[in-house]
Amino acid sequence: MNILSVHKGQDTGGQGWRMTDAFRRLAPDWNFRSAYAPNAFFYLDYPRDVNPWDGEVVKRLWKQADVVHLHNNFATAKIMERLVGRMHYSYAKAKKAVIHYHGTTFRANPKVHLAQQAQWGATALVSTLDLWLLAPEQTQWLPAPYDLEWLYAMRKPNRTKTIKIAHAPTERGVKDTDSFLAATDRLKAEGHAIEVDLIEGVNWMECLARKAKADIYYDQVLLGYGCNAIEAWGMGIPVVAGGAPDTLAEMERRFGTLPFYNASKDTIYDALLALMDKQTRTEYAKRGLAHVQAYHDDRKIVEQLKDIYTRVAA
């Protein structure tokens, strides 16, 4: 089957590329291609398959695709359908599609997106459970895929007595970075031997390399957990994160336990203080690694996507 994952904006969290890589390694009989254009977060420099997104190659791949995997909205699909002359007065002639919601745009106005989704007749996926809770009947959760063996091989254990805490925000306000820094300043003032690695403005591979040296990773405390947390867990690093009560309740229902050390904006210090204890860090590292193995292993995601695409194409 021919699949094209395409979006005129960023490859959110590098998920499109990782799907492409996973299908090439694990399902070579499928033709999965992806195309993205850079935006404000271009410095992350995720690997690419097809570049640029609006070239003749993408038009050819669009025509060949049995299913198109869209991201965040239908803007790209409308452009591509017009470019190839396949959509005129209705969506009936348009490509069979999967729409994959990743965050801000869907969170801000789900009703608009759901209306477009219904009009297009698309199958909807969401990257995180807080998004799923906005439309549980119209969407399904697709965990972000990772090559876990590759991630774990990147780990560089810290052999010093200083505890290294990493944090990699793309938007400080969303990640409550100021609250995190206040918490680490307090720990330092109390005499704890810690080093903070604030990872900003660097590409994805450098971010991973620096994260791999951490003893603790702080993600964010508003939305559950994101790709940064998954990467840390895959390396065997415990994570501090948090979310809204309904998101946390859904995670506990699905997972049985929270994979991260739960914190709010006001309890980041308490969470980090608890993780100063090596035994506690080990416990949460094991909990996080077991979680990604159960839900984010790209071998499982490929099988999930194959089933979704087959149903959509049929």
Convert the pLDDT of each residue in 121-161 to its tens digit.
999 999 999 999 999 999 999 999 999 999 999 999 998 99
pLDDT at 89: 47
pLDDT (tens digit per residue) in 59-91: 899 999 999 999 999 988 888 888 887 655 455
Q: Is pLDDT above 70 for 113?
A: yes
Residue 258: CB atoms within 10 Å: 19
pLDDT of 269 > 50? The answer is: yes
Per-domain residue ranges of the chain: 2-145+297-313, 149-295
Task: Please give the residue that has the higher pLDDT: either 266 or 8.
Answer: 266
Average pLDDT over every residue of 179-186: 98
Helix axes 278-295, 227-234, angle to 10 degrees: 110
Q: Does domain 2-145+297-313 have CATH number 3.40.50.2000?
A: yes
pLDDT of residue 11: 87
217-235 pLDDT, tens digit per residue, is: 999 999 999 999 999 999 9
pLDDT of residue 52: 61
Query: Do the domains 149-295 and 2-145+297-313 match in fold?
Result: yes
pLDDT of residue 86: 65
Nearest to 51 by CA among 26, 20, 25, 82: 20
E strand spans, 20-142: 31-36, 67-71, 97-101, 123-126, 140-141
Of 73-77, 196-200, 273-277, the least confident: 73-77
Q: What is the pLDDT of residue 70?
A: 95
What was the pLDDT predicted at 39? 58
Top CATH class, 149-295:
alpha beta
Q: What integer is the mean pLDDT of 13-30?
A: 96
- Note whether 5 and 97 are within 8 A (CB): no
Instruction: Judge whether 96 and 66 are in contact, CB under 8 Å.
Output: yes
Q: Over the chain, what is the mean pLDDT?
A: 93
Residues 202-215 have a mean pLDDT of: 96
pLDDT score at 90: 52
